[in-house]
Amino acid sequence: MGRKTPLPPLVRGTSQQGLDVGHGVLTEQVGRAIRAWRGVGVRHNALRATALVVGLSILLIILGWVCGGITGIKLGIVIVALVNGLIYLFGDTMALRAMHARPVSEIEQPELYRIVRELATEARQPMPRLYLSPTKAPNAFTTGWNRRRAALCCTTGLLSLLNERELRGVIAHELTHLRKGDTIVGTVAAMLALSITSLTALSLLLPLADSDDEDGHDLLQGLLFLVVGPIAAAVIRAAVGRAQEYAADEAAARLTGDPIGLANALHRIEVVSRVHPLPVHRGLLTSAHLMVAHPFAGQREGRIFAVHPPTRERIRRLHALAQRWNCE
């Protein structure tokens, strides 16, 4: 898996195999959770994604009517059709492209394949396609319209940072998002937000005193982003809530039987992300909510797109869960 970065673990106490909890109890808990979520969560999130697309489409057409009457309506319909077409065709690969991810084979990453296969089997869901992103920023995300077409991407920084126990927690978290259909809403929100922030490219079409003045275009793009950035962030916040991250954390802990493994992973990712953050650009900003942890820790430009709960609170809840299980 690569050389591990020597960071001190957040806590001690539980073994590599997880908490000392009865296997039968955990298996039954996982089974109940899977039966409760199967189908219901996916349908709910599919409806949320549809409502998001329809709502913004209607809003855009109304805006076209207000600004340009019948001509504006026609233009709005064209834009809506174009955006929806892009979502359908490229939505499930947008984040992979932004991260320069490539498919990875089992020969290249046998340990990663083993861990994902074990957890997917335990969760009773298809194994996703695996991708690797060549960046030192430690993170992971899932994307895809359904569980059978899903993809899970890990960065090289994540694989070199975490030990197996911690990596299992991260992968279980991402598999939970796939099982519940969270990636459907997240993917749609990412594409809509990217479409909105792409309006900053209009600065290239506007005449300036000096058409070769790159500084002028950069300044105008920055000003346009100040306008459309909050709108794009609002779209993401409307689709993605902190509650679903807390729920995925707990479900991942139940799947692995080890809340502390995920807690330690979140701690390490938070620390190293401040040293090796992702570069700030539209494709990554609008995909940040898909990551297991906010990838722009400490960066002012990324704060507006920060929808993850505070890492400290996520860790606290996982510790509380571990203590509760130890008492059973």
Q: Provide the annotated active-site residues.
A: 174
Rounded distance between C-alpha atoms, residue 115 and residue 152, angstroms: 12
DSSP string, 228-268: HHHHHHHHHHHH--HHHHHHHHHHHHHHHT-HHHHHHHHHH
Neighbours of 90 (CB within 10 A): 14
Q: Is 134 left (phi over 0), alpha (psi -120 to 50) or beta?
A: beta
3-state secondary structure of 20: coil
Using DSSP's 3-state secondary structure scheme, residue 59 falls into helix
Q: For strand 129-133 and strand 151-155, is the pairing parallel, antiparallel, or unpaired? A: parallel
User: Which residues contact residue 228 at a Cβ distance below 8 angstroms, ignoring those fewer than 6 apart?
Assistant: 196, 197, 199, 200
- Which amino acid is residue 8, in one-letter code? P
Residues 6+ apart with CB under 8 A from 138: 155, 157, 158, 161, 162, 268, 269, 272, 273, 276
Nearest 5°: the CA angle 164, 302, 314 is: 45
Degrees, nearest 5: CA angle 203-217-235: 45
Query: What letters, b where the CB count within 10 A reaches 16 and e where it falls short, cover 232-260?
Result: bbebbbbbbeeebbebbbbbbbbbbbbbb
By C-alpha distance, which of 306, 87, 51 is closest to 190?
A: 87
β-bridge pairing 129-133 and 140-143? unpaired
Hey, what are 40's tokens? 């219901």
